[in-house]
Amino acid sequence: MKRIALLGATGSIGRQALEIIDAHPELELCALAAGSQRQEAERVAAERRVRHLSVGGDPPLDELVAASEPDVVLNAVVGFAGLPATLAALEAGIDLALANKESLVAAGDLALSAQRRGGGRILPVDSEHSAAFQCLEERAPASVDSLVLTASGGPFRGRPRDELASVTPAEALAHPTWSMGPKITIDSATLMNKGLELIEAHFLFGLPYDRIEVVVHPSSIVHAMVRFRDGATLAHLGYPDMRVPISYALTYPERAATPIAPLDFSAGLRLEFAPPDLEAFPCLALARAAGEAGGTAPCILNAANEVAVTAFLAGALPFLGIAEVVERTLAAVDGAPARDLADLVAVDEEARRVAASLSRELVH
Ligand SMILES: NC(=O)c1ccc[n+]([C@@H]2O[C@H](COP(=O)([O-])OP(=O)(O)OC[C@H]3O[C@@H](n4cnc5c(N)ncnc54)[C@H](OP(=O)(O)O)[C@@H]3O)[C@@H](O)[C@H]2O)c1
């Protein structure tokens, strides 16, 4: 039996994880957390006789993790709110199935120190990182030439910058290949999602930024590729369905069966790749620069992006304003490294204040 604490159980990843857990008697749900959907969380917990439940941060996620004694924490909370659970799992040496990329982006150094102390594993749930993890098979970074992350390009792929000024939240939420929660769907439309993934990959695999490339691959069949120093490239392919990486992380290292069909080549398969358009989608370049700058720049980038995406979804900021708010927040807030979690939380709060004020300024 493997005991699973599922955080973010009412969301897109959370619901798909429940499907996987329900289908495997050897996976036992021991704790659940949700944000605002109390009734739904209570229903899911009652149906599965789960005793440890947190809604809206009560009890705090780190306390929930400690009390429920899981073997694996699946962190599928959205945003910086997932950070305490990431740190708690790593500090306690519990395996962390990580969907919540924002925690690793904002607190990569703190998270890796916690992991070194605790000794647990990070099993990536993000499809690209799960793919890279499988291609890498824990080989040393020295054997790797470079990592290639694929991006679908989102709903606005191919559109020039000036056509993006008036796009609406409804248009941005219509993702061509993946069905996901609203925040990551907007991040995919701006390519910030790929920027966050770039930083996530840097921390997960210990590769410098100049050895991580992003390419646009519209059909989302190839999830990641690793070029090795001997000239070989390994790619991970499959239909875009998050149940595959969720199942891989929860049943690691067994690779349990899922209901998802393997690739069918009988109708032919074309794989196309192109470089991203950084002028139309500046968030990717902003994320790369923040990652390279290090310190708390990725935390500031993430906080400003969360604020700007919320404003865009509320109709209070134009689409192109998201990158502008992020860029100006990065310029305004000091990105010196955080000594501890309190330092980091203070930087996150400062970046949110600045980004909220810039968002208001941009529309008046
Ligand atoms: N969806 C995907 O396909 C996908 C793919 C790769 C990576 N990810 C990553 O996985 C994470 C979740 O994405 P998602 O698409 O599943 O998002 P989502 O559908 O918006 O779900 C977010 C979940 O987080 C919960 N939550 C929010 N604030 C919380 C808090 N303070 N405490 C506890 N729970 C809280 C929500 O609860 P309520 O609904 O009850 O408010 C919900 O269960 C994100 O970091 C995303 O980048 C998602």
Write the residue with the smallest CA distance to atom 26 of ligand 1: 35
Predicted local confidence at residue 349, as pLDDT: 98
Q: Is the beta carbon of 108 within 6 A of some atom in ligand 1?
A: no
Return mean pLDDT, the chain: 97
Write the residue with the smallest CA distance to atom 37 of ligand 1: 35
CA of 350 to the centre of ligand 1 (A): 23
The closest-lying atom of ligand 1 relative to the alpha carbon of residue 37 is: 40
Q: Is the beta carbon of 194 within 6 A of some atom in ligand 1?
A: no
Whether this model's pTM surpasses 0.95: yes
Cα pseudo-dihedral 81, 84, 86, 92, rounded to 10: -160
Please give the distance of CA 132 from its chain centroid, rounded to a whole number.
14
Residues 6+ apart with CB under 8 A from 266: none
Query: In the sheet where 72-75 sits, what is the strand order?
Result: 52-55, 27-34, 2-7, 72-75, 95-98, 122-124
Residue 362 scores a pLDDT above 80:
yes
- The mean pLDDT of 172-188, rounded to a whole number, is 93
Write the residue with the smallest CA distance to atom 30 of ligand 1: 35
Residue 5 scores a pLDDT above 80:
yes
Percentage of residues in the chain having pLDDT higher than 70: 100
At 78, which amino acid appears?
V
pLDDT tens, residue by residue, 194-232 = 999 999 999 999 999 999 999 999 999 999 999 999 999
The tokens describing 263, both together, are 């690739």
Residue 175 scores a pLDDT above 90:
no
The tokens describing 150, both together, are 């694929």
How many contiguous H segments (helices) and E segments (strands) does the chain have?
A: 14, 10
CA of 56 to the centre of ligand 1 (A): 13
Q: Is the beta carbon of 181 within 6 A of some atom in ligand 1?
A: yes
Q: Is the beta carbon of 37 within 6 A of some atom in ligand 1?
A: yes
Q: Is the beta carbon of 160 within 6 A of some atom in ligand 1?
A: no
What is the sign, positive or negative, of the torsion defined by CA atoms of 99, 148, 211, 154?
negative
**CB of 78 closer than 8 Å to CB of 92:** no
Instruction: Work out the pLDDT band at 363, boundaries 50, 70, 90.
Output: confident
* 177 vs 342, more confident: 342
Q: Is the beta carbon of 209 within 6 A of some atom in ligand 1?
A: no
Predicted local confidence at residue 303, as pLDDT: 98
CA of 146 to the centre of ligand 1 (A): 30
Q: Is the beta carbon of 44 within 6 A of some atom in ligand 1?
A: no
pLDDT tens, residue by residue, 263-281 = 999 989 999 999 999 999 9
- The mean pLDDT of 89-97, rounded to a whole number, is 98
Residue 320 scores a pLDDT above 90:
yes
Residue 326 scores a pLDDT above 90:
yes
Cα–Cα nearest to 30, from 80, 91, 94: 94
Helix (H) or strand (E) holding 263: none
Residue 364 scores a pLDDT above 80:
no
Q: Is the beta carbon of 99 within 6 A of some atom in ligand 1?
A: yes
The closest-lying atom of ligand 1 relative to the alpha carbon of residue 193 is: 47
- The mean pLDDT of 274-290, rounded to a whole number, is 98
* Alpha-carbon gap, residue 143 to 136, rounded angstroms: 9
- The mean pLDDT of 101-116, rounded to a whole number, is 98
* DSSP letter assigned to residue 243: H
Q: Is the beta carbon of 32 within 6 A of some atom in ligand 1?
A: no
Predicted local confidence at residue 278, as pLDDT: 98
CA of 182 to the centre of ligand 1 (A): 9
* Alpha-carbon gap, residue 105 to 93, rounded angstroms: 20
Q: Is the beta carbon of 76 within 6 A of some atom in ligand 1?
A: yes
pLDDT tens, residue by residue, 301-312 = 999 999 999 999
The tokens describing 234, both together, are 């390994």
